[in-house]
């Protein structure tokens, strides 16, 4: 018994009560090399009891590296599960987005094979069987899904996220269900659409953020369910840093821009549905809107973080739609539960294939705001790979919104500290070391220094605007010098539409690697890169 009822209350399909077992009793279902599908999304709504029991089984029996799986999950899950699996060498492949120090280390040392993907495309491609096409069955071997409840006919009611549950159920014939009674039932908050495959894919008829066009559960044949496990473990949601001067300045720059766009008639007074990515800056931007002048706001995004509660408390937000309720463990979720009636009715959780689908994003006219690793002077952006090679988390859903939104914006500090220099890393550089989002997809670049509106601007004009408005003062002259040199050289050679000097474009990155700062003594090149 918990404060929120019993397992028997939540499992309304009574025939499934005969399949109740402990997490430890499910271990024989797992075989080395299996393709597993988990529920969960950034990190919310993921299974906990069974993955933790498997990790403990591996540790007790010295099976590290001998019991390995491929994981297909909507996005990141809690570090106590996948990061612990990485510590125990239990992950062979991981798609498409992850968090955790050890799993990132496994990817970057080559122990874990990761594939990155726009999240909306990952969801549909998983359902198409693209990721399991080389397995003997062409399907997932086993699924672990966390739910709030099971309906009378076996329907699965998710908890704090939807992720790719629908695609997993379509691709898997054996399902372990964790029923979480350690928190209130989230039944009623979800709007579930399970899309058919082409050529029979249906219209996603969401015309307003608050529209509900589906069911509150995922249909599931009860015969697929091989085990029901009771859970009382809550999500280990991420905590974010408090707003600092940098994030506060970024938020203020964005709000000033919105005010200007409203006055110009390019945005309505209540703006358009807001999308904001994951992370501390995104969290701060939503918090800034809670203090801003706009009312009647709506949020259509993939993740609802702690400051969405501030926005709802302010009375300025009428509705919020996402794939995940990704609140912090010690502050966000207790606050949500304590004010259940206030928040519950204004939030809706949708499958990843719906929350990140280009169709509703374009129809609603979402304002997309995400944080990159770096932005170059022509408005290409790198969201994933530090130095072009070290994976952080993955591209997530930023590209889904940046390619399809009404306004496409990226915000970042103008600089970050290195080990030896407090402004040693410029986040505005000549050319990105890896490109996730092209210049064709970005409308605005924002740092604490200012906002560069580059809509309708030719490449060289964009470059000067981004340097002027967004670069840190320590780097403005250096970047301008590079642009002047590149422009003069390329125009002379009649190749000057988007000037670059390829022997110098990455010198700031190389200098950081060698000297701990992107500040250069000069732009000279002493080595002929093409010499014999």
At residue 316's C-alpha, the angle toward residues 332 and 248, to 5°, is: 65
Question: Are residues 426 and 413 in contact, defined by beta-carbon separation less than 8 angstroms?
Answer: no
Q: How far apart are CA 310 and CA 342, in angstroms?
A: 12
The CA-based diameter of the chain, rounded to the nearest angstrom, is: 79
Predicted pLDDT at 468: 98
275's tokens:
């999308």
DSSP state of 461: H
Cis peptide leading into residue 96 (ω within 30°):
yes
Scanning the structure block, which residue is given the tokens 């918990």? 2
User: With the C-alpha atoms ordered 173, 176, 181, 184, is the resulting torsion angle positive or negative?
Assistant: negative
Nearest CA to 353 out of 119, 37, 131, 40 is that of 119
Question: Are residues 237 and 332 in contact, defined by beta-carbon separation less than 8 angstroms?
Answer: yes
Predicted pLDDT at 371: 95
Question: Are residues 299 and 322 in contact, defined by beta-carbon separation less than 8 angstroms?
Answer: yes
Burial-class residue 21 by CB neighbours within 10 Å (0-12, 13-18, 19+): middle
Question: Are residues 414 and 447 in contact, defined by beta-carbon separation less than 8 angstroms?
Answer: yes
At residue 511's C-alpha, the angle toward residues 505 and 512, to 5°, is: 110
Residue 56 neighbours by CB under 8 Å, 6+ apart: none
* CATH architecture under which domain 7-231 falls: 3-Layer(aba) Sandwich (3.40)
The residues carrying an active-site annotation are: 302
Predicted pLDDT at 408: 97
Question: Are residues 418 and 519 in contact, defined by beta-carbon separation less than 8 angstroms?
Answer: no
Strands 444-447 and 450-453, sheet pairing: antiparallel
Residue 354: enclosing H or E segment and its boundaries? helix 352-355
pLDDT tens, residue by residue, 271-320: 999 998 877 788 788 888 888 899 999 999 999 999 899 999 999 999 99
DSSP state of 386: E
Residue 235: enclosing H or E segment and its boundaries? none
- Rounded-to-10 torsion of CA 478, 502, 510, 457: 50
64's tokens:
């590290």
In the chain, which stretches have pLDDT less than 70?
A: 1-2, 239-242, 527-532
DSSP state of 95: E
At residue 143's C-alpha, the angle toward residues 140 and 148, to 5°, is: 150
Predicted pLDDT at 13: 98
C-beta contacts of 54-60 below 8 A and 24+ residues apart? 54/27, 54/30, 54/85, 54/90, 55/81, 55/84, 55/85, 55/88, 55/90, 57/24, 57/27, 58/88, 58/90, 59/88
C-beta contacts of 487-496 below 8 A and 24+ residues apart? 487/460, 496/460
445's tokens:
């670049």
Residue 65 neighbours by CB under 8 Å, 6+ apart: 89
Predicted pLDDT at 278: 76
C-beta contacts of 12-15 below 8 A and 24+ residues apart? 12/149, 12/150, 12/151, 12/152, 13/150, 13/151, 13/152, 13/153, 13/154, 13/222, 15/222
Q: Where in the chain is the domain with CATH 3.40.1080.10?
A: 7-231, 245-470
Could you say which of 3.50.50.60, 1.10.10.10, 3.90.25.10, 3.40.1080.10 is the CATH number of the domain covering 245-470? 3.40.1080.10
Question: Are residues 283 and 240 in contact, defined by beta-carbon separation less than 8 angstroms?
Answer: yes
Scanning the structure block, which residue is given the tokens 């008639």? 265
Percent of the chain as helix, strand, coil, to the nearest 5 = 35, 20, 45
Beta strand ranges found along 256-363 (DSSP E): 274-276, 297-300, 303-304, 317-322, 324-325, 347-349
Scanning the structure block, which residue is given the tokens 């080395």? 32
């Amino acid at each position: 018994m918990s404060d929120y009822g019993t397992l028997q209350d939540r499992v309304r399909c009574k025939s499934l009560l005969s399949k109740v077992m402990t997490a430890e009793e499910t271990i024989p279902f797992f075989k080395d090399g299996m393709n597993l599908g988990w529920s969960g999304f950034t990190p919310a709504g993921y299974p906990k009891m069974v993955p933790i029991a498997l990790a403990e089984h591996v540790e007790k029996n010295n099976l590290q590296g001998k019991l390995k799986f491929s994981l297909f999950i909507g996005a990141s899950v809690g570090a106590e599960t996948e990061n612990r699996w990485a510590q125990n060498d239990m992950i062979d492949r991981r798609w498409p987005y992850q968090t955790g120090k050890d799993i990132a280390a496994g990817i970057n040392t080559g122990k874990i094979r990761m594939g990155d993907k726009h999240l909306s495309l990952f969801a549909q491609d998983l359902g198409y069987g693209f990721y399991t096409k080389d397995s003997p069955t062409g399907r997932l071997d086993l699924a672990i899904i966390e739910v709030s409840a099971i309906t009378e006919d076996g329907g699965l009611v998710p908890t704090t996220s939807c992720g790719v549950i629908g695609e997993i159920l379509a691709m898997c014939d054996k399902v372990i269900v964790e029923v979480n009674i350690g928190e209130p039932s989230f039944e009623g908050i979800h709007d579930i659409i399970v899309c058919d495959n082409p050529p029979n894919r249906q219209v996603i008829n969401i015309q307003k953020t608050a529209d509900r066009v589906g069911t509150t559960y995922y249909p599931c044949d009860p015969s697929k369910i091989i085990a029901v496990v009771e859970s009382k473990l809550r999500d280990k949601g991420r905590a974010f840093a408090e707003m600092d001067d940098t994030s506060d300045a970024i938020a203020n720059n964005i709000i000033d821009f919105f005010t200007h766009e409203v006055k110009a008639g390019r945005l309505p007074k209540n703006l358009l549905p807001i999308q904001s990515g994951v992370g501390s800056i995104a969290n701060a931007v939503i918090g800034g809107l809670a203090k801003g002048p706009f009312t009647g706001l709506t949020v259509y995004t993939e993740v609802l973080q702690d400051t969405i509660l501030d926005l709802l408390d302010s009375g300025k937000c009428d509705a919020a739609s996402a794939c995940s309720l990704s609140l912090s463990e010690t502050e966000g979720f207790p606050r949500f539960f304590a004010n259940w009636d206030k928040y519950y009715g204004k939030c809706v959780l949708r499958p990843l294939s719906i929350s990140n689908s280009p169709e509703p994003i374009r129809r609603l006219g979402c304002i997309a705001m995400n944080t990159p690793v770096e932005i170059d002077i022509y408005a290409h952006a790198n969201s994933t790979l530090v130095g072009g090679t070290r994976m952080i988390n993955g591209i997530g859903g930023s590209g889904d919104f940046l390619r399809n939104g009404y306004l496409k914006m990226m915000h970042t500090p103008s600089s970050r500290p290195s080990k030896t220099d407090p402004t040693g890393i410029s986040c505005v550089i000549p050319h990105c070391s890896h490109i996730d989002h092209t210049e064709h997809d970005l409308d605005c670049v924002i740092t604490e220094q200012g906002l560069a509106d580059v809509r309708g601007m030719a490449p060289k004009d964009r470059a000067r605007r981004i340097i002027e408005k967004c670069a840190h003062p320590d780097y403005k002259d250096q970047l301008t010098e590079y642009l002047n040199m590149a422009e003069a050289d390329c125009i002379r050679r009649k190749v000057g539409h988007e000037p670059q000097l390829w022997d110098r474009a990455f010198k700031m990155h190389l200098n950081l690697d060698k000297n701990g700062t992107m500040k250069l003594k000069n732009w000279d090149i002493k080595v002929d890169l093409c010499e014999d």
